[in-house]
Amino acid sequence: MSPTRHTQLYYSELIHETAASADKPSCPSLYASLTRKELGVLGEDIAAAHLISQGMEIIERNYRCSEGEADIVAFDPADELVVLVEVKTRRCIQQDEIYAEESVTAQKRRRYRRIAGCYMMEHYPIPAIRFDVIGVSITPDGTYDVHYIPQAFGWDAEI
């Protein structure tokens, strides 16, 4: 088994444990050794577990179309709508660094709107789409913080 696959399996187990409890895994040496791609996958796993803990259903991960990719597509049964989620993951040097989700640019928001248009055409009819952002900040001690922003932006907002 490759080191990457082993790491993904290890973190997959941690994520399932995290979804079932409020405890956050801590393993600084493994977090520090992750590549950018592995860190991104870990962040998406943490975000998916968080959404599930909020009562959402994960429909699809890494949805791709001609306009780009949405990290997570979920269904929110409370609001009866589809949610496209952008996940931003960062390693934090200090606890007071900016939140990872602050790096969702106007260009990324425009792209998500176009991705939503593709998703709606491919899966018509769907009730409605909401755009959420989840920031995952990995701290120096190997723990993480999740900052969830439902309705982070709308169809017409540029901010």
pLDDT in tens, the chain (159 residues): 333 333 344 444 554 454 444 455 555 556 667 788 988 999 999 999 999 999 999 999 999 999 999 999 999 999 999 999 999 998 877 655 556 567 788 899 999 999 999 999 999 998 899 999 999 988 777 788 899 999 999 988 554
Domains of the chain by range and CATH?
A: 3-153 (3.40.1350.10)
CA–CA separation, 122 and 99 (whole Å)? 33
Our CA angle for 127, 67, 154, nearest 5°, is 45
Q: Distance (Å, rounded) from C-alpha 92 to C-alpha 12?
A: 21
Query: pTM for the complete prediction?
Result: 0.78
pLDDT tens for each residue of 79-89 = 999 999 999 99
What three-state secondary structure class fits 1? coil
Task: Please state, in angstroms and rounded to a whole number, the distance separating the CA atoms of residues 135 and 77.
Answer: 22
